[in-house]
Structure 1
Amino acid sequence: MSVNFQVTLVRHGQTAANKAQIIQGNADVPLSDVGKNQATKLGSHFNRTGASFTHVYASDLSRALETAQLVIGDKQSIITDKRLRERAFGVVEGKSIESYRAAAREAGFKEKELSYFTPEGGETLPQVNQRVKAFFTDLIDHLKTSQPENESKILIVTHGGVIREFMRFFRDDCRCDFKGGEIMIVTPNTGVNIFNISILTGNKVKAEVVKIHDTTHLQGDNPESNSTKSQVNVNDNHTDKGKSDDDAPPLVAL
């Protein structure tokens, strides 16, 4: 029996550290007023467009959990999961992106490889990818047992680096095609990314892009509160099939 569901991945709202280009990682940094406004606007947008969700998950870090609360309101419960936390950056958390770059160069990493540098006490990218896969596998198992006949709609509020690892997983393991370069972008604060997921016979997974990096709800905001990119939807040609030689992730997803 196949299981079909939709996943909406949302990045948390802006924080003061985002604006200052400070690495947060697992540090528990709250939303700024701008971030709260972004999340509130996304909730209003979902209400206007009739978007609803059967399950809501969030990172337990306050910037993601508060975003989820502002988006959903008191309509339903939010399940927190530590596997949805941002990549841990160890000793460079609380420091500038430039300090991370400098440490990576000192460790011998070339410019295109800086993101692969793991600071002391930090996580490797494969470690982040593995916890994303573990979360997704558990989600599939839950949906199979709880609502096998109905199409579930899942909202996941998390972090830029984690969303990027979801996309890499969808591309590499779930046959999902992306427009060239789109997977390399760190989705904007409260950016919306929607995927249709099909679980077929033999537990084979197929993912399809509906839209990515969508910030329609922030249109008209000033640059400070809307450092965003236009949405990319399924009507665009998604041609990024498989890895490329330049498959380095964004330098740092704050």
Structure 2
Amino acid sequence: MGVKQAEAAGQYLKDVKFTNVFSSDLQRAKQTAAIIMRSNNHSPGITIICDPRLRERSFGIAEGKPVNSMKEMAKAAGQQCPHFTPPGGETQDQVRSRAKEFIRSLCQRMASEHLACSGPESTDGPPPSACEGDACPPCSSATNSCNHPADGALHLAAHALVVSHGTYMRNVVKHFVEDLDCALPHSLKMSQMFSACPNTGMCRFILTLERNREVAPSAECVFINRKDHLASLREDE
């Protein structure tokens, strides 16, 4: 099912132009990124940069065990599962620190590669896309009403696809919301913002950088946990 979901994501994003692609260096993420880019019509030969900072949270002695096993460990320790750190595992703060460092370096890299020769000073966060020509009319990210793959990514200087893992991406979202005071669509509830992302679910954030200034980017959420591309798979079940 995972391969089919990645293929569906690739088909959904096939007409989106990416200027950069980043992936966790874990095998399933690398495969997902490769499958998505294999279907892409506008980014031939782009290099997928594998970064260990995009790895999933390490769960220590709970690594590879059923979720119920970790829940039992958390209960025995008198803690709730989402906040529990198994022996030898990473804390949520450690994962978030990795996420913040990756976003900082992503912004630096894309600014140096693209902003020097372009007009707009925006770059996409995980995972973004671009709209070519007249393929998609302007959409309002505030209403989150457009389901086109390039929704919210018109006229940006650079567009990055970032492929990572569920717990890690939730920490990226928390960084955008809590550290960067991310602007949210009016219809989006905070519970949805921090909900678990489905496998190959898509989020889009627009990061705006100030040229030649070492300041944190401003962030805007266009959509969170989009799964339109999985509809055909559900119909086949």
Q: What is the TM-score with the length of structure 2 in the denominator?
A: 0.74
Paired AA for residue 70 in structure 1 = I
| Partner SS state of residue 222, structure 2 | strand
SS, match of residue 221 in structure 1: helix
CA shift in 2, pair 1:223/1:124, >3 Å: farther
Identical aligned pairs, as a percentage? 34
- What is residue 16 of structure 2 aligned with on the other side? 51
* Residue-by-residue CA offset, 1:29-76 (whole Å, 9 max, x unaligned): xxxxx11111111111112xx211000000011110000000001642
Contact persistence 1:83–1:131 (CA under 8 A): yes
Rounded to whole Å, the distance in 1 between the matches of 2:167 and 2:31 is: 18
Q: Which runs of 5+ in 1 are unaligned?
A: 1-33, 226-254
User: 2:104 is aligned with what amino acid?
Assistant: T
Q: Distance in 2 between matches of 1:40 and 1:108?
A: 41
| 1:59-208 correspondence runs (5 A) | 59-73=24-38, 75-109=45-79, 113-148=80-115, 149-150=117-118, 151-178=157-184, 179-180=188-189, 181-200=191-210, 201=213, 203-208=215-220
Which among 211, 218, 227 is matched to residue 230 of structure 2?
A: 218
Aligned AA (2:9): L
Deviation, structure 1 residue 161: 0.8
Alpha-carbon offset, residue 177 of structure 1: 3.7
For residues 213 and 143 of structure 1, what CA distance do their matches in structure 2 show? 24
- Residues of 2 paired with 1:39 and 1:85: CA distance? 18
Q: Which residue in 2 is equivalent to 1:236?
A: none
Compute the TM-score of the two structures, normalised by the length of structure 1.
Answer: 0.70
Aligned equivalents of 1:105, 1:45: Cα separation in 2: 41
Output the aligned Cα RMSD: 1.7
Count of residues in Structure 1 that have an aligned counterpart in Structure 2: 187
Contact 1:188 1:213 in 2 (8 A): yes
Q: Which has the higher contact order (CA 8 A, sep 6+)?
A: 1
Kept in 1, the 8 Å contact 2:18–2:158? The answer is yes
Q: Could you tell me which amino acid in structure 2 is paired with residue 217 of structure 1?
A: H
2:131 aligned partner: none
